[in-house]
């Protein structure tokens, strides 16, 4: 029988702690800190190339009334807004027709409800792309609105230097309460991840609430056919499939951001997260490895911190405290700077709580998806 000494256990535990700290510090230095300090692109005079804005809507009557004017009144001379009214059963059709009388650049595509055929959002996006007259396309949701009338200009100006996929930030409108902080921090941290990775030349996702790409890059993709059966993926799996360091860019100007309505309950947020997580097992290997490595090393780091606080030998106090201090310094510095960058300035106060909690919660949702798949298409 093999006997393992206490010293051997202590040695390997120490190695685990050093590795976890090292991985965390590397992520902050190589990925997260880099987007917090890059300079915002200058707003220069640009040629206003024609652009198609595509919005898919299903039973979004009230949101269309509230948010659609912000898209139709952009300070841009040459663009169209296409709203795909996807099998709506409310008064969306009448709302859109009223807007069309006032705005000549609004175009409406309608998908009639068919009791014999159910479909997801990817069909609506495909219809919108086919209806688009222009090469450059911007995508958003009906429950979103741009933060300024410069949104379209700022997103469009990034189509340069062979860039064909543009990733923007789609945050949530600020409310009160703990759920608000959870939803906004989760959204912010996802944005830090996908924008940091894209900036480092390994794009793996974007969000349909603020995304742009060309018809040319769409034609080079599977046109959603490779993952049509999956509930989500019109944004992240598309970017993962065709995005490269050469053809993908990010936009960090606050006037290019969009904001969406939050879900009303914790249960709805969990369902939304579960739906989004259905795509993760189809990411490329390098993406899956990095997306696993960071939260795993993070939880290992916190676990080691707790154990060391209980059993720490005095001889190791300075070394352990130095490692913990280095990781927490880079974590807080990157969090404060990136919260400012994404106009989520209050969230850094809750960062430590969510930094520990979110990987655990998302891990449980992954497990639940494995044993109890969801069937919602939209």
Q: Are residues 194 and 76 in the same domain?
A: yes
In a domain, 2, yes or no: no
In a domain, 274, yes or no: no
Q: Are residues 92 and 196 in the same domain?
A: yes
Burial readout 185-212 (b: 16 or more C-beta within 10 A, e: otherwise): bbbbbbbbbbbbbbbeebbbbbbbbbbb
In a domain, 327, yes or no: yes
- Secondary element (H or E) of residue 260: strand 258-260
In a domain, 270, yes or no: no
pLDDT in 10s for each residue of the chain, 378 residues: 444 555 677 777 888 999 999 999 999 999 999 998 887 666 666 788 999 999 999 999 999 999 999 999 999 999 999 999 998 999 999 999 999 999 999 999 999 887 677 788 999 999 999 999 999 999 999 999 999 999 999 999 999 889 999 999 999 999 999 999 999 999 999 999 999 999 999 999 999 999 999 999 999 999 988 888 887 889 999 999 999 999 999 999 999 999 999 998 999 999 999 988 889 888 999 999 999 999 999 999 999 888 887 776 666 778 888 999 999 999 999 999 999 999 999 999 999 999 999 999 999 998 988 888 776 555
Q: Are residues 222 and 83 in the same domain?
A: yes
For residue 147, give the CATH number of its domain: 3.90.550.10
In a domain, 269, yes or no: no
Contacts of 269 (CB under 8 A, 6+ apart): 179, 182, 183, 263
In a domain, 278, yes or no: no
Closest CA to 162 of 255, 66, 81, 243: 243
In a domain, 281, yes or no: no
Q: Are residues 219 and 355 in the same domain?
A: no
pTM of the model: 0.91
Euclidean distance between CA atoms 250 and 224, whole angstroms:
22
Q: Are residues 190 and 68 in the same domain?
A: yes
Contacts of 334 (CB under 8 A, 6+ apart): 28, 32, 33, 36, 192
Q: What's the token pair of residue 260?
A: 């969406």
Number of domains composing the chain = 2
In a domain, 275, yes or no: no
Burial readout 291-321 (b: 16 or more C-beta within 10 A, e: otherwise): beebbebbbbbbebbeebeeeeeeeeeeebe
Euclidean distance between CA atoms 67 and 274, whole angstroms:
27
Domain housing 82: 51-264
Which of 203, 231, 264 is the C-terminal boundary of a domain? 264
Q: Beta partners for 171?
A: 259
Q: Beta partners for 57?
A: 85
């Amino acid at each position: 029988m093999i006997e393992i000494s206490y010293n051997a256990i202590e040695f390997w535990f120490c190695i685990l702690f050093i590795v976890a700290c090292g991985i965390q510090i590397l992520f902050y230095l190589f990925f997260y800190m880099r987007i917090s300090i890059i300079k915002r692109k200058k707003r220069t005079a640009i040629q206003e190339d024609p652009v198609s804005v595509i919005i898919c809507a299903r039973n979004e009557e009230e949101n269309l009334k509230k948010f659609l004017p912000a898209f139709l009144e952009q300070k841009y001379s040459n663009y169209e807004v296409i709203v795909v009214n996807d099998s709506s059963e409310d008064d969306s059709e009448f709302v859109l027709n009223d807007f069309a009388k006032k705005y000549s650049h609004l175009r409406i595509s309608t998908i009639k409800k068919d009791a014999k055929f159910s479909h997801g959002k990817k069909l609506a996006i495909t219809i919108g792309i086919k209806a688009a007259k222009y090469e450059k396309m911007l995508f958003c949701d009906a429950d979103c609105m741009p933060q300024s009338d410069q949104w379209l200009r700022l997103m469009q100006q990034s189509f340069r230097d062979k860039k064909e996929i543009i990733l923007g930030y789609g945050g949530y409108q600020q409310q009160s309460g703990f759920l608000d902080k959870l939803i906004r921090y989760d959204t912010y941290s996802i944005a830090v991840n996908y924008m940091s990775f894209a900036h480092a030349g390994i794009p793996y996702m974007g969000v349909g609430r603020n995304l742009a790409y060309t018809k040319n890059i769409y034609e080079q993709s599977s046109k959603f056919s490779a993952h049509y059966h999956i509930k989500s993926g019109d944004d992240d799996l598309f970017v993962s499939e065709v995005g490269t360091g050469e053809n993908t860019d990010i936009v960090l100007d606050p006037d290019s951001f969009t904001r969406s309505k939050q879900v009303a309950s914790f249960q709805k947020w969990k369902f939304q997260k579960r739906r989004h997580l259905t795509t993760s097992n189809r990411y490329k290997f390098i993406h899956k490895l990095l997306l696993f490595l960071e939260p795993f090393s993070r939880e290992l780091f916190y676990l080691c911190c707790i154990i060391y606080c209980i059993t720490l030998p005095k001889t190791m106090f300075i070394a352990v405290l130095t490692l913990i201090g280095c990781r927490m310094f880079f974590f807080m510095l990157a969090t404060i700077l990136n919260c400012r960058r994404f106009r989520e300035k209050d969230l850094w106060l809750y960062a430590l709580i969510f930094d520990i909690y979110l990987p655990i919660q998302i891990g449980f949702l992954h497990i639940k998806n494995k044993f109890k798949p969801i069937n919602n298409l939209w």
